[in-house]
Amino acid sequence: MKYCKLILFVFLITILVSSCKQHQEARRPISQKSGSFMKKSVERNKKLIAGEEGQIDSLIKSNPKVKYFASTKGYWYTYVIQNTLDTITPKKGDVAFFDYEIKDLKGNVIYSELELRPQTYAVDKQNIMTGLREGIKLMHKNEKVIFLFPSHIAFGYHGDDKKIGTNQPLICTVTLHNFLSEAAFKKEIQLRATTPEKQDTSNIEPVKQTKAVNKLKDTVTN
């Protein structure tokens, strides 16, 4: 009787060990397949970014009179109008007032400034294009800047499901009119609500603080 129980116990142990081995072996190919897919995806993205940066580099070289700056955030920019007196730029929580226009790299207008205006943006608290979010934070009041954005910091693979296509690099011309702290903006809203007939122009800076860098509106794309 004891001998039968021993045989039964050994048999159950053998089945359990065999089952564990099969389970472990079944998991291995999934991990390998996943790693291979990720590696190929990274390689595709590198080629895509390199190709777009090549297009942008050609655009910059096609007009050597326009000086572009390379950002550490992965985009390029040049000043149309530069404010050399102010030192303050928008920070998280500030409310920025700006207009902008979007073109493709050939200079074709995708969205005009008239279509997009006016823009009010709570810095780093609202979901907007990555490049635009970073670009606004380097601008001073009353500046006009042309940005060249690769698709991965623009609208990416999906585009905007309207006029901007898949993996499309963009030219954005941005005019930052003003920006206020969150507290100052709320106070201004309350003031306007109590005195709607009075026009508040306190957030408009005099243009005398700016200087034209490029005389043409958009020399890089014309």
Per the listing, tokens 């306190």 go with 202
Average pLDDT over residues 37-56: 88
pLDDT tens, residue by residue, 89-140: 999 999 999 999 999 999 999 999 999 989 999 999 999 999 999 999 999 9
Structure tokens at 179: 């920006």
CB 101 within 8 A of CB 112: yes
Query: So what's the pLDDT on residue 125?
Result: 95
* Secondary structure (3-state) at 53: helix
Cis amide leading into 90 (omega within 30) = no
pLDDT tens, residue by residue, 155-184: 999 999 999 999 999 999 999 999 999 999
Query: So what's the pLDDT on residue 21?
Result: 47
Query: So what's the pLDDT on residue 45?
Result: 87
CA dihedral 215, 219, 220, 222 (to 10 degrees): 170
Q: Could you tell me the pTM of the whole model? A: 0.72
